[in-house]
Chain A
């Protein structure tokens, strides 16, 4: 359905993002609980979500801080998890690049997996949308998830301080990471990247300062990229033979 006004574009984005309530709510809650378990107070947990606003990166940083990793490694690893945001930013630029700089700055803050996935799908299928309509849709798509993530963090942090240690929540975070990885493995290249990272992580586990994480991450990225190239070449050859 074409968007006629910027206002209706905003509300369409708002409605389209509703299913993500089911993800952002519980995950924000979980972050709050685990942050409290790690010793953060409510203000610190909330500041974390407000300032960083990136689920997987926040979980990564929390985990590594608990392992007493050096601050630099914590920052590099969590930002590496977030590197895909640079790709999102680059792929949205043809659609949003013409908007005023201050709007693009706000859009950058609200750029997460959900707002990106909704927006890029919308912009690709509706090329007639104007830049203001696209911006409105993007902000609409962030309108529920963002406040929900912050609010759920606060609630989680409040609950978390009540959770007895005997519940043994220490395996919840690994399970959350695994649950996030599964749906991301869409192509053979994704699978290869994941497998290479796992193997390297095991081999490089002895490296000091959690440096094995960086080595394994870089190995996985290169293997993924090379596999993608290989699959493309293979497909092209098959087309030529036919």
Chain B
């Protein structure tokens, strides 16, 4: 059931391995103890909170389970997971409530 060939997979694995190591090593290796420019640090701080929502939004609004049509249970479960994560700062509470909400709402409204 693999949807992609192993050449693609290994290219991604090796490329990511090299790329992540470079990102992690760049400053430890080269910078000595100089500081990065403030504007760069300011942008780097927001990479994860920008890319992850950008990635997840289409998955929530056009879920693959419904072949891409808007689904109230999926949308509600996503908002609940986000809210619980934000308020509780607990990843597993967020995932658990989200999953329960999805299951409950699917049973209720189908």
Contacts and interface: CB of A to CB of B under 8 A. Distances in A.
B86 A183 contact: yes
A86 B27 contact: yes
Contacts of A129: none
B28 A170 contact: no
A229 interface: yes
Contacts of B19: 75, 78-79, 82
Interface in B1-54: 1-4, 6, 8-9, 11-17, 19-21, 23-29, 31-36, 39, 41-54
A146 interface: no
Contact of A182 (B3, B39, B65, B89): B89
Given A180-B91, A183-B89, A171 B102 contact: yes
Given A83-B47, A174-B63, A60 B12 contact: no
Interface of B: 1-4, 6, 8-9, 11-17, 19-21, 23-29, 31-36, 39, 41-65, 74, 77-78, 81-92, 94-95, 98-99, 102
Interface string A50-87: 01111011101101011010010011011111111111
B95 to A, nearest CB: 4
Contact of B31 (A44, A68, A93): A93
Contacts of A175: 77-78, 81, 94-95, 98-99, 102
Interface string A205-242: 10000001100111111111100110000000000000
A200 B29 CA distance: 36
Contacts of B46: 189-190, 193, 220-221, 223-225, 228
B82 A182 contact: yes
B24 A108 contact: yes
Interface in A96-123: 96-98, 101, 104-105, 107-109, 111
Interface of A: 22-23, 26, 38-40, 44, 47-48, 51-54, 56-58, 60-61, 63, 65-66, 68, 71, 74-75, 77-90, 92-94, 96-98, 101, 104-105, 107-109, 111, 168, 170-185, 189-190, 193-194, 196-198, 200-202, 205, 212-213, 216-225, 228-229
B26 A213 contact: no
B92 A97 contact: no
A52 B13 contact: yes
B53 A87 contact: no
A142 B34 CA distance: 25
Contacts of B84: 179, 182
